[in-house]
Amino acid sequence: MTTQSHHDPAYLDSLAERFTVLPNDNPASDAKREGLIDKPAFGQVFSDSMAHMSWTKGEGWSDRRIEPYAPIKLDPGASVLHYAQEVFEGLKAYRHADGSTWLFRPDANAERMQNSAKRLYLPEVSVDDFLASCAALVLQDRKWVPTRREYTLYLRPFLFASEPFLGVRAPQEVDYCVIASPSGPYFPGGVKPVSIWVEDKFFRTGPGGTGFAKCGGNYAASLVGEYRGIDQGCEQVCFVDAATKTYLEELGGMNMMVAHKDGHVETPSLNGNILPGVTRRSIIQLLEDSGHDVVEKMIVLQELLDDIRSGEVTEVFACGTAAIITPIGRFKSEDFDVTVGDGEPGELTMKLRDELLGIQMGEIEDPHDWMWKVC
Ligand code: COI
Protein backbone atom coordinates (compact mmCIF):
# COMPACT_ATOMS: atom_id res chain seq x y z
CA MET A 1 0.00 0.00 0.00
CA THR A 2 1.39 3.41 -0.89
CA THR A 3 0.99 6.32 1.50
CA GLN A 4 -1.44 7.90 -0.96
CA SER A 5 -3.90 5.01 -0.98
CA HIS A 6 -5.57 5.67 2.36
CA HIS A 7 -6.48 9.20 1.25
CA ASP A 8 -8.65 7.40 -1.31
CA PRO A 9 -11.86 6.10 0.37
CA ALA A 10 -11.84 3.10 -1.97
CA TYR A 11 -9.22 1.46 0.26
CA LEU A 12 -11.28 1.40 3.47
CA ASP A 13 -14.48 0.95 1.46
CA SER A 14 -13.35 -2.34 -0.01
CA LEU A 15 -12.15 -3.58 3.40
CA ALA A 16 -15.48 -2.61 5.01
CA GLU A 17 -17.29 -5.01 2.68
CA ARG A 18 -16.17 -7.95 4.79
CA PHE A 19 -18.68 -6.80 7.46
CA THR A 20 -22.28 -7.72 6.55
CA VAL A 21 -24.75 -4.97 7.43
CA LEU A 22 -27.80 -5.98 9.48
CA PRO A 23 -29.56 -2.60 9.55
CA ASN A 24 -31.17 -1.08 12.63
CA ASP A 25 -34.92 -0.97 11.83
CA ASN A 26 -35.47 1.51 14.62
CA PRO A 27 -32.75 4.17 14.26
CA ALA A 28 -32.86 7.47 16.13
CA SER A 29 -34.92 10.11 14.29
CA ASP A 30 -33.00 12.90 12.54
CA ALA A 31 -34.16 15.37 15.21
CA LYS A 32 -33.13 13.09 18.08
CA ARG A 33 -29.73 12.32 16.55
CA GLU A 34 -29.00 15.96 15.78
CA GLY A 35 -29.87 16.89 19.37
CA LEU A 36 -27.64 14.14 20.74
CA ILE A 37 -24.54 14.79 18.64
CA ASP A 38 -24.49 18.43 19.65
CA LYS A 39 -24.14 17.58 23.34
CA PRO A 40 -20.79 18.56 24.83
CA ALA A 41 -20.37 15.48 27.06
CA PHE A 42 -17.81 12.73 26.37
CA GLY A 43 -18.89 9.12 25.88
CA GLN A 44 -22.49 9.30 27.05
CA VAL A 45 -24.54 8.52 23.96
CA PHE A 46 -24.09 5.87 21.30
CA SER A 47 -24.93 5.62 17.61
CA ASP A 48 -27.48 3.27 15.98
CA SER A 49 -25.09 0.43 15.11
CA MET A 50 -22.09 -1.55 16.32
CA ALA A 51 -19.52 -3.80 14.66
CA HIS A 52 -19.24 -7.35 15.98
CA MET A 53 -17.32 -10.51 15.17
CA SER A 54 -16.75 -13.74 17.04
CA TRP A 55 -13.81 -16.07 17.56
CA THR A 56 -13.51 -19.66 18.69
CA LYS A 57 -10.34 -21.60 19.29
CA GLY A 58 -11.29 -24.09 16.58
CA GLU A 59 -12.67 -21.77 13.91
CA GLY A 60 -10.85 -18.47 14.39
CA TRP A 61 -12.71 -15.25 13.51
CA SER A 62 -16.12 -15.38 11.81
CA ASP A 63 -19.52 -13.72 11.59
CA ARG A 64 -18.29 -10.21 10.80
CA ARG A 65 -21.34 -7.98 11.01
CA ILE A 66 -22.64 -4.47 11.60
CA GLU A 67 -25.69 -4.91 13.80
CA PRO A 68 -28.11 -2.66 15.69
CA TYR A 69 -26.54 -1.18 18.83
CA ALA A 70 -27.97 -3.25 21.70
CA PRO A 71 -27.00 -4.86 25.02
CA ILE A 72 -24.67 -7.82 24.56
CA LYS A 73 -26.02 -11.22 25.57
CA LEU A 74 -23.39 -12.59 27.90
CA ASP A 75 -23.42 -15.71 30.09
CA PRO A 76 -22.89 -14.79 33.78
CA GLY A 77 -20.07 -17.34 33.73
CA ALA A 78 -18.25 -15.50 30.90
CA SER A 79 -14.53 -15.43 31.72
CA VAL A 80 -14.19 -11.68 31.22
CA LEU A 81 -16.58 -11.02 34.10
CA HIS A 82 -14.33 -13.00 36.44
CA TYR A 83 -10.78 -12.64 35.17
CA ALA A 84 -10.90 -9.40 33.15
CA GLN A 85 -9.53 -10.76 29.87
CA GLU A 86 -10.36 -7.58 27.98
CA VAL A 87 -8.49 -5.01 25.89
CA PHE A 88 -9.77 -1.93 24.11
CA GLU A 89 -8.86 0.96 21.84
CA GLY A 90 -9.94 4.56 21.33
CA LEU A 91 -9.90 6.48 18.04
CA LYS A 92 -12.00 9.16 16.42
CA ALA A 93 -13.85 9.87 13.16
CA TYR A 94 -13.64 13.52 12.08
CA ARG A 95 -16.00 15.45 9.79
CA HIS A 96 -14.18 17.88 7.52
CA ALA A 97 -15.65 21.13 6.21
CA ASP A 98 -16.37 19.55 2.79
CA GLY A 99 -18.53 16.90 4.51
CA SER A 100 -15.98 14.07 4.15
CA THR A 101 -15.25 11.73 7.09
CA TRP A 102 -11.78 10.60 8.18
CA LEU A 103 -9.98 8.47 10.77
CA PHE A 104 -6.69 9.45 12.40
CA ARG A 105 -3.95 6.78 12.28
CA PRO A 106 -6.28 3.78 12.70
CA ASP A 107 -3.42 1.48 11.68
CA ALA A 108 -1.55 2.53 14.84
CA ASN A 109 -4.53 1.60 17.01
CA ALA A 110 -4.83 -1.72 15.19
CA GLU A 111 -1.20 -2.59 15.92
CA ARG A 112 -1.48 -1.52 19.55
CA MET A 113 -4.57 -3.67 20.03
CA GLN A 114 -2.59 -6.66 18.78
CA ASN A 115 0.15 -5.96 21.34
CA SER A 116 -2.43 -5.55 24.11
CA ALA A 117 -4.17 -8.79 23.09
CA LYS A 118 -0.89 -10.73 23.24
CA ARG A 119 -0.26 -9.52 26.81
CA LEU A 120 -3.75 -10.59 27.95
CA TYR A 121 -3.53 -13.94 26.12
CA LEU A 122 -6.39 -12.98 23.81
CA PRO A 123 -6.43 -13.77 20.07
CA GLU A 124 -5.30 -10.92 17.83
CA VAL A 125 -7.61 -9.03 15.49
CA SER A 126 -5.89 -8.62 12.13
CA VAL A 127 -5.06 -5.06 11.10
CA ASP A 128 -7.42 -5.40 8.13
CA ASP A 129 -10.31 -6.63 10.30
CA PHE A 130 -9.71 -3.76 12.72
CA LEU A 131 -9.70 -1.20 9.90
CA ALA A 132 -12.70 -2.87 8.24
CA SER A 133 -14.77 -2.89 11.44
CA CYS A 134 -14.13 0.81 12.14
CA ALA A 135 -14.74 1.84 8.53
CA ALA A 136 -17.91 -0.27 8.17
CA LEU A 137 -19.36 1.19 11.37
CA VAL A 138 -18.56 4.77 10.39
CA LEU A 139 -19.99 4.19 6.90
CA GLN A 140 -23.20 2.81 8.36
CA ASP A 141 -23.54 5.56 10.99
CA ARG A 142 -21.89 8.42 9.08
CA LYS A 143 -24.74 10.77 10.04
CA TRP A 144 -23.57 10.46 13.65
CA VAL A 145 -20.23 12.19 13.01
CA PRO A 146 -20.49 15.71 14.49
CA THR A 147 -19.40 18.74 12.49
CA ARG A 148 -18.19 21.16 15.17
CA ARG A 149 -14.43 21.49 15.82
CA GLU A 150 -13.37 19.21 18.70
CA TYR A 151 -16.57 17.18 18.30
CA THR A 152 -16.02 13.73 16.87
CA LEU A 153 -17.45 10.25 16.64
CA TYR A 154 -15.31 8.45 19.22
CA LEU A 155 -14.84 4.78 18.30
CA ARG A 156 -14.31 2.22 21.02
CA PRO A 157 -13.14 -1.20 19.73
CA PHE A 158 -12.96 -3.88 22.46
CA LEU A 159 -12.12 -7.55 22.70
CA PHE A 160 -13.13 -9.91 25.50
CA ALA A 161 -13.24 -13.57 26.57
CA SER A 162 -16.90 -14.56 26.36
CA GLU A 163 -17.02 -18.30 27.00
CA PRO A 164 -18.76 -19.47 30.18
CA PHE A 165 -15.93 -21.07 32.14
CA LEU A 166 -14.59 -20.43 35.62
CA GLY A 167 -11.18 -22.01 35.14
CA VAL A 168 -8.34 -19.60 34.53
CA ARG A 169 -7.03 -20.44 31.07
CA ALA A 170 -6.44 -19.13 27.55
CA PRO A 171 -9.84 -18.15 26.13
CA GLN A 172 -11.70 -20.53 23.83
CA GLU A 173 -14.41 -18.05 22.77
CA VAL A 174 -13.91 -14.34 22.26
CA ASP A 175 -15.99 -11.44 20.98
CA TYR A 176 -14.78 -8.25 19.33
CA CYS A 177 -17.04 -5.20 19.05
CA VAL A 178 -16.77 -1.56 18.04
CA ILE A 179 -19.22 0.98 19.38
CA ALA A 180 -19.39 4.66 18.44
CA SER A 181 -20.10 7.64 20.66
CA PRO A 182 -20.55 11.20 19.34
CA SER A 183 -18.44 13.15 21.78
CA GLY A 184 -17.36 16.60 22.79
CA PRO A 185 -14.23 17.49 24.79
CA TYR A 186 -13.09 14.98 27.46
CA PHE A 187 -12.62 17.77 29.99
CA PRO A 188 -15.71 20.00 29.84
CA GLY A 189 -15.49 23.78 30.16
CA GLY A 190 -13.03 24.71 27.38
CA VAL A 191 -9.26 24.38 27.36
CA LYS A 192 -8.33 25.16 30.91
CA PRO A 193 -5.37 23.73 32.77
CA VAL A 194 -6.09 20.67 34.90
CA SER A 195 -4.70 19.98 38.36
CA ILE A 196 -2.84 16.72 38.83
CA TRP A 197 -2.71 14.60 41.95
CA VAL A 198 0.65 12.79 42.20
CA GLU A 199 -0.12 9.37 43.65
CA ASP A 200 2.61 7.42 45.42
CA LYS A 201 0.64 4.91 47.49
CA PHE A 202 -1.51 3.19 44.88
CA PHE A 203 -0.10 2.16 41.49
CA ARG A 204 -1.75 1.33 38.18
CA THR A 205 0.91 -1.19 37.20
CA GLY A 206 4.44 -2.36 37.96
CA PRO A 207 7.51 -3.84 36.26
CA GLY A 208 6.48 -6.72 33.99
CA GLY A 209 2.81 -5.82 34.47
CA THR A 210 0.19 -4.74 31.96
CA GLY A 211 1.06 -1.02 31.88
CA PHE A 212 1.78 -0.90 28.14
CA ALA A 213 -1.41 -2.79 27.26
CA LYS A 214 -4.70 -0.97 26.83
CA CYS A 215 -6.66 -3.27 29.13
CA GLY A 216 -9.62 -2.29 31.27
CA GLY A 217 -7.82 -3.53 34.39
CA ASN A 218 -5.27 -0.70 34.20
CA TYR A 219 -8.06 1.85 34.29
CA ALA A 220 -9.85 0.07 37.13
CA ALA A 221 -6.56 0.11 39.06
CA SER A 222 -6.20 3.85 38.49
CA LEU A 223 -9.46 4.80 40.17
CA VAL A 224 -8.37 4.72 43.82
CA GLY A 225 -5.60 7.20 43.00
CA GLU A 226 -7.89 9.24 40.78
CA TYR A 227 -10.48 9.66 43.53
CA ARG A 228 -7.87 10.44 46.17
CA GLY A 229 -6.96 13.30 43.82
CA ILE A 230 -10.56 14.35 43.23
CA ASP A 231 -11.01 14.56 47.02
CA GLN A 232 -8.11 17.04 46.98
CA GLY A 233 -9.66 19.17 44.21
CA CYS A 234 -7.66 17.66 41.32
CA GLU A 235 -9.03 16.52 37.95
CA GLN A 236 -6.51 13.78 37.13
CA VAL A 237 -4.00 11.51 38.79
CA CYS A 238 -0.36 10.97 37.82
CA PHE A 239 1.28 7.72 38.82
CA VAL A 240 4.89 7.27 39.86
CA ASP A 241 6.78 4.03 39.27
CA ALA A 242 5.81 1.28 41.68
CA ALA A 243 9.35 -0.05 42.11
CA THR A 244 11.10 3.11 43.36
CA LYS A 245 8.41 5.84 43.63
CA THR A 246 10.93 8.12 41.92
CA TYR A 247 9.81 8.52 38.32
CA LEU A 248 6.68 9.96 36.77
CA GLU A 249 4.90 7.52 34.51
CA GLU A 250 1.49 8.49 33.14
CA LEU A 251 -1.84 9.91 34.11
CA GLY A 252 -4.97 7.85 34.74
CA GLY A 253 -5.69 7.73 31.01
CA MET A 254 -3.18 9.97 29.22
CA ASN A 255 0.52 10.47 28.58
CA MET A 256 2.42 13.54 29.77
CA MET A 257 4.94 16.01 28.22
CA VAL A 258 7.19 18.55 29.88
CA ALA A 259 8.48 21.63 28.00
CA HIS A 260 11.72 23.32 29.10
CA LYS A 261 12.60 26.96 28.62
CA ASP A 262 15.33 26.16 26.06
CA GLY A 263 12.62 24.58 23.84
CA HIS A 264 13.36 20.90 24.40
CA VAL A 265 10.52 18.66 25.51
CA GLU A 266 10.73 15.59 27.74
CA THR A 267 8.28 12.73 28.08
CA PRO A 268 8.44 9.53 30.13
CA SER A 269 10.08 6.77 28.09
CA LEU A 270 8.11 3.68 27.10
CA ASN A 271 9.50 1.45 29.86
CA GLY A 272 6.76 -1.16 29.68
CA ASN A 273 4.65 0.53 32.34
CA ILE A 274 3.37 3.28 30.05
CA LEU A 275 0.76 3.22 27.32
CA PRO A 276 2.39 3.91 23.92
CA GLY A 277 -0.06 6.67 23.00
CA VAL A 278 -0.88 7.41 19.36
CA THR A 279 -1.28 11.09 20.29
CA ARG A 280 2.03 10.94 22.20
CA ARG A 281 3.79 9.54 19.13
CA SER A 282 2.18 12.13 16.85
CA ILE A 283 3.15 15.04 19.09
CA ILE A 284 6.74 13.87 19.24
CA GLN A 285 6.73 13.94 15.43
CA LEU A 286 5.15 17.42 15.25
CA LEU A 287 7.64 18.76 17.79
CA GLU A 288 10.59 17.33 15.86
CA ASP A 289 9.16 18.71 12.60
CA SER A 290 9.25 22.19 14.11
CA GLY A 291 12.82 21.86 15.39
CA HIS A 292 12.25 20.92 19.04
CA ASP A 293 14.45 18.26 20.60
CA VAL A 294 12.34 15.58 22.25
CA VAL A 295 13.90 13.46 24.97
CA GLU A 296 12.19 10.24 26.03
CA LYS A 297 13.56 9.50 29.48
CA MET A 298 12.73 8.47 33.02
CA ILE A 299 11.54 11.77 34.54
CA VAL A 300 12.43 12.19 38.21
CA LEU A 301 9.47 13.67 40.10
CA GLN A 302 11.66 15.71 42.48
CA GLU A 303 13.62 17.22 39.57
CA LEU A 304 10.40 18.15 37.78
CA LEU A 305 9.10 19.93 40.87
CA ASP A 306 12.41 21.80 41.30
CA ASP A 307 12.44 22.75 37.60
CA ILE A 308 8.85 24.02 37.74
CA ARG A 309 9.67 26.13 40.81
CA SER A 310 12.82 27.60 39.20
CA GLY A 311 11.11 28.32 35.87
CA GLU A 312 13.33 25.84 34.00
CA VAL A 313 10.13 23.95 33.09
CA THR A 314 7.69 26.32 31.43
CA GLU A 315 4.79 24.09 30.37
CA VAL A 316 3.42 20.63 31.09
CA PHE A 317 0.58 18.98 29.23
CA ALA A 318 -1.40 15.76 29.06
CA CYS A 319 -2.09 14.03 25.75
CA GLY A 320 -4.34 11.24 24.58
CA THR A 321 -6.96 10.48 21.94
CA ALA A 322 -9.87 11.48 24.13
CA ALA A 323 -8.28 14.55 25.73
CA ILE A 324 -6.18 15.59 22.66
CA ILE A 325 -3.77 18.00 24.40
CA THR A 326 -4.74 19.41 27.77
CA PRO A 327 -2.57 21.87 29.71
CA ILE A 328 -1.52 20.93 33.23
CA GLY A 329 -1.54 23.86 35.63
CA ARG A 330 -0.68 22.31 38.96
CA PHE A 331 0.87 19.28 40.68
CA LYS A 332 -0.32 18.40 44.16
CA SER A 333 0.28 15.64 46.71
CA GLU A 334 0.29 15.23 50.47
CA ASP A 335 3.74 16.89 50.43
CA PHE A 336 3.62 19.66 47.81
CA ASP A 337 1.42 21.97 45.76
CA VAL A 338 3.20 23.50 42.76
CA THR A 339 1.81 25.72 39.99
CA VAL A 340 3.28 25.41 36.47
CA GLY A 341 4.27 28.84 35.09
CA ASP A 342 1.43 31.26 35.81
CA GLY A 343 -1.12 28.41 35.82
CA GLU A 344 -2.47 29.46 32.40
CA PRO A 345 -2.30 27.38 29.17
CA GLY A 346 1.21 27.64 27.67
CA GLU A 347 2.04 28.90 24.19
CA LEU A 348 3.65 25.68 22.94
CA THR A 349 0.83 23.56 24.38
CA MET A 350 -1.81 25.61 22.57
CA LYS A 351 0.19 25.75 19.32
CA LEU A 352 0.57 21.95 19.25
CA ARG A 353 -3.09 21.48 20.13
CA ASP A 354 -4.12 23.72 17.27
CA GLU A 355 -1.76 22.01 14.84
CA LEU A 356 -2.88 18.48 15.71
CA LEU A 357 -6.56 19.44 15.61
CA GLY A 358 -5.92 21.32 12.36
CA ILE A 359 -4.56 18.13 10.75
CA GLN A 360 -7.36 16.01 12.17
CA MET A 361 -10.07 18.44 11.02
CA GLY A 362 -8.50 18.81 7.55
CA GLU A 363 -7.74 22.51 8.03
CA ILE A 364 -4.03 22.17 7.41
CA GLU A 365 -1.81 19.85 5.42
CA ASP A 366 -1.33 16.29 6.67
CA PRO A 367 2.42 15.96 6.09
CA HIS A 368 2.72 12.39 7.40
CA ASP A 369 -0.43 10.94 5.77
CA TRP A 370 -2.01 10.24 9.13
CA MET A 371 -5.59 10.72 7.92
CA TRP A 372 -7.58 7.86 6.36
CA LYS A 373 -10.67 8.79 4.34
CA VAL A 374 -13.80 6.75 5.05
CA CYS A 375 -16.30 8.59 2.87
C1 COI B 1 -8.39 7.62 24.99
O2 COI B 1 -7.75 8.65 25.12
O3 COI B 1 -8.90 7.27 23.93
C4 COI B 1 -8.58 6.71 26.12
O5 COI B 1 -8.79 5.57 25.91
C6 COI B 1 -8.55 7.25 27.47
C7 COI B 1 -9.82 7.00 28.21
C8 COI B 1 -9.56 7.35 29.63
C9 COI B 1 -10.97 7.79 27.68
Q: Which fold has domain 9-187+362-373?
A: D-amino Acid Aminotransferase; Chain A, domain 1 (3.30.470)
Write the secondary structure of the chain as one string of H (helix), E (strand) and C (coil).
Answer: CCCCHHHCHHHHHHHHCCCEECCCCCCCCHHHHHHHHCCCCCCCCCCCEEEEEEEECCCEEEEEEEEECCCCCCCCCEHHHHHCCEEECCEEEEECCCCCEEEECHHHHHHHHHHHHHHCCCCCCCHHHHHHHHHHHHHHCHHHCCCCCCCEEEEEEEEEECCECCCCCCCCEEEEEEEEEEECCCCCCCCCCEEEEEECCCCCCCCCCCCCCCEHHHHHHHHHHHHHHHHCCCCEEEEECCCCCCEEEEECCCEEEEEECCCCEEEECCCCCCCCCHHHHHHHHHHHHCCCCEEEECEEHHHHHHHHHHCCEEEEEEEECCCEEEEEEEEECCCCEEECCCCCCCHHHHHHHHHHHHHHCCCCCCCCCCEEECC
- With a 6 A CB cut-off, is 279 part of the ligand 1 pocket? no
At the top level of CATH, the class of 194-344 is alpha beta
Tell me the CA–centroid distance for residue 42 and ligand 1, in Å. Answer: 10
- With a 6 A CB cut-off, is 318 part of the ligand 1 pocket? no
What's the CA angle centered on 274, arms 270 and 279, to 5 degrees? 80
- Quick one: pLDDT at residue 187? 76
**From the alpha carbon of 154, which atom of ligand 1 is closest?**
3
**From the alpha carbon of 42, which atom of ligand 1 is closest?**
9
- With a 6 A CB cut-off, is 236 part of the ligand 1 pocket? no
- With a 6 A CB cut-off, is 277 part of the ligand 1 pocket? no
Tell me the CA–centroid distance for residue 322 and ligand 1, in Å. Answer: 5
The protein residue with its alpha carbon nearest to ligand 1, atom 5, reads 90
- Quick one: pLDDT at residue 271? 92
Taking phi over 0 as left and psi of -120 to 50 as alpha, with beta for the rest, 343 belongs to left
- Quick one: pLDDT at residue 190? 77
What whole-number distance in Å separates Cα of residue 266 and Cα of residue 353? 17
The protein residue with its alpha carbon nearest to ligand 1, atom 8, reads 253
Q: What does the domain layout of the chain look like in residue ranges? A: 9-187+362-373, 194-344
**What is the pLDDT tens value at each position of the chain, 375 positions in all?**
444 578 889 899 999 999 999 999 999 999 999 988 877 688 899 999 999 999 999 999 999 999 999 999 999 999 999 999 999 999 999 999 999 999 999 999 999 999 999 999 999 999 999 999 999 999 999 999 999 888 999 999 999 999 999 999 999 999 999 999 999 888 777 788 999 999 999 999 999 999 999 999 999 999 999 999 999 999 999 999 999 999 999 998 899 999 999 999 999 999 999 999 999 999 999 999 999 999 999 999 999 999 999 999 999 999 999 889 999 999 999 999 999 999 899 999 999 999 999 999 999 999 999 999 999
Among 72, 165, 175, 167, residue whose Cα is nearest residue 122: 175
- With a 6 A CB cut-off, is 322 part of the ligand 1 pocket? yes
**Residue 236 CB contacts under 8 Å (≥ 6 apart), including other chains:** 194, 195, 196, 197, 226, 229, 251, 252, 254, 318
- Quick one: pLDDT at residue 236? 92
